[in-house]
Structure 1
Amino acid sequence: MSFLWSNFDQVWNLTVSHVWLAALPIVIGFIVSLPIGWLANRYRLSRGVLLTIGGILYTIPSLPLFFAMPALIGTQILAPVNVVLALSIYAVALMVRTVADALASVQGDVLQSATAIGFSAWRRFWSVELPLGGPVLLAGLRVVSVSTVSLVSVAALIGVPNLGYLFTDGLNRSYTEEVVVGIVAIMIVALVFDLVLVLLGRLLLPWTRLDSSTRRLSRSAAMKAVRGA
């Protein structure tokens, strides 16, 4: 661990940069994917088209996309905005399907009841569809989080500072400890992101804990009944 203690300030600065480069695309991807996923769920014809486009976008290799962004948006090659926008594209590509599936998981009877009591389409989306589809959205967002944190490291190859720099520099110098520190640091960032999302899910979706408790009680009662029989 001598490398970490000797270069702690550098590792910390790279970690902070890595966190921002990963967090922004996750947030942007989630916000942008909501209306697109709603369209994919609302209209059957658009679902296939939008999900296909999303699948194609996600197959674009990250490194060529990072190089292409300056030409597309007119920025400098080392501008962090290139990485943020490129990773936002990947986040949207993944989250559109998740949003569509989450909204489709809401039972039709619930939607009809909300409409019957006077909910507009806008209010029904925010008050009924989005909360009930929350668990599916959270699961998809956790996948996007892990994917984005790992993809940020690729940006080190074009000179954007992040924890991926420890890979490239360590390999160039044959310094295994530096590479290991980079790997462990990225794993920690990914775990922290996942933990934050889980805690947010518990805070914003408290009814999911009640459902889990109910299922556990039901299984326990069933087992007791079987043993009693």
Structure 2
Amino acid sequence: MSEQNCLVANDWVCGEYLRTRGQELTDATVQHLGITVASVVIGVLISFPLALLARRRKAFAGPVLGLTTVFYSVPSLAMFSLLLPLFGLSASLVITGLVLYSLTILVRNILAGLQAVPEEAREAARGMGYGPLRLLWEVELPLALPAMLAGVRIATVSTVALTTVGAIVDYGGLGTLILDGLHSDFKAQVLTASVLCVLLAVLADLLLLGVQRWLTPWTRATAVRGGRGPHRRRAATAVEPEMPEMPEKVA
């Protein structure tokens, strides 16, 4: 069957759909990326001071982690409904909901990274005259960076998937195309938008993995040295922070 007829036949794979709806796919992809990037960036900016507060004031650790977990456990439809009176039907509604969902992942990983910094490193820095701010930026953050970036990767992939739920308010990026395709039984649109969403998640994870490896070259060197013998391998793995378990997200 020719490409011109695949639209009429409503095939799952249709080159004619890609040719005729290219601009529509591009616009949806750009919206999807914009919402994802804005949500993750704002989530990081909020999560970092929350993690510092939880680390510095032990009494706040439980409430902070508990509240972010509550946000994460709220179903997406309920979350958007609760935020609707504040933001109306807008991209801000979707971004705010996604930021709240990202907090538990980001706060937990930032906190885990900071707590895994060896106390000997802190003491050595204090002995060299480092104040609290310099200690944080020049010692603790570099050592906590692998765990922090791992959290950003998880939050980004999760946000790429959850952005599609924004289709219920017409701000779901590729999710809007998926929902419209399901309502109209437009198979090529459903498949194409779904594949693009998966590709976005994979590419985002690979990109952030590359950034993580570039910013933390010492982790590769440690892995190479640790692989030379069983004793070194055990020593290398012993210092890696244990990632906190995440509750299952309810769509």
TM-score (norm 1): 0.89
Amino acid at match of 1:117: M
CA distance in 2, matches of 1:67, 1:149: 20
The equivalences for 1:14-25 within 5 A come to 14-25=28-39
Give the aligned partner of residue 88 of structure 2. Answer: 76
Give the aligned partner of residue 189 of structure 1. Answer: 200
1:51 to 56, 60, 65: 65
Give the aligned partner of residue 96 of structure 1. Answer: 107
CA distance in 2, matches of 1:128, 1:87: 31
Amino acid at match of 2:226: R
Please list the CA deviations of residues 133-191 of structure 1 after superposition, one character each: whole Å capped at 9, or x if unmatched: 11111111111011100010000111125100121111111122211111110011111
1:11 to 25, 29, 32: 25
2:190 to 165, 171, 179: 179
CA distance in 2, matches of 1:112, 1:156: 51
CA distance in 1, matches of 2:179, 2:168: 7
Gaps of 5+ in 2: 1-13, 234-251
Please list the CA deviations of residues 30-62 of structure 1 after superposition, one character each: whole Å capped at 9, or x if unmatched: 121111111112222211111111111111222
On the 8 A contact 1:65/1:86 being kept in 2, the answer is yes
On the 8 A contact 1:18/1:163 being kept in 2, the answer is yes
The equivalences for 1:140-179 within 5 A come to 140-179=151-190
Asked if residue 28 in structure 1 is aligned to residue 77 in structure 2, the reply is no
On the 8 A contact 2:163/2:172 being kept in 1, the answer is no
Number of residue pairs the alignment of both structures matches = 219
Please list the CA deviations of residues 65-107 of structure 1 after superposition, one character each: whole Å capped at 9, or x if unmatched: 22332422xx331x21221122111112221111111101111
Give the aligned partner of residue 55 of structure 2. Answer: 41
Give the aligned partner of residue 136 of structure 1. Answer: 147
Identity within the alignment, % = 30
CA distance in 2, matches of 1:30, 1:12: 27
Moved more, 21-30 or 195-204: 195-204
CA distance in 2, matches of 1:193, 1:35: 25
Give the aligned partner of residue 243 of structure 2. Answer: none
On the 8 A contact 2:165/2:172 being kept in 1, the answer is no
Gaps of 5+ in 1: 223-229
Amino acid at match of 2:212: G
On the 8 A contact 2:181/2:187 being kept in 1, the answer is yes
Give 1:23 shift.
0.7
On the 8 A contact 1:41/1:101 being kept in 2, the answer is no
Two-structure CA RMSD over aligned residues (Å):
1.9
Moved more, 129-138 or 63-72: 63-72
TM-score (norm 2): 0.82
CA distance in 2, matches of 1:60, 1:68: 10
Amino acid at match of 1:107: P
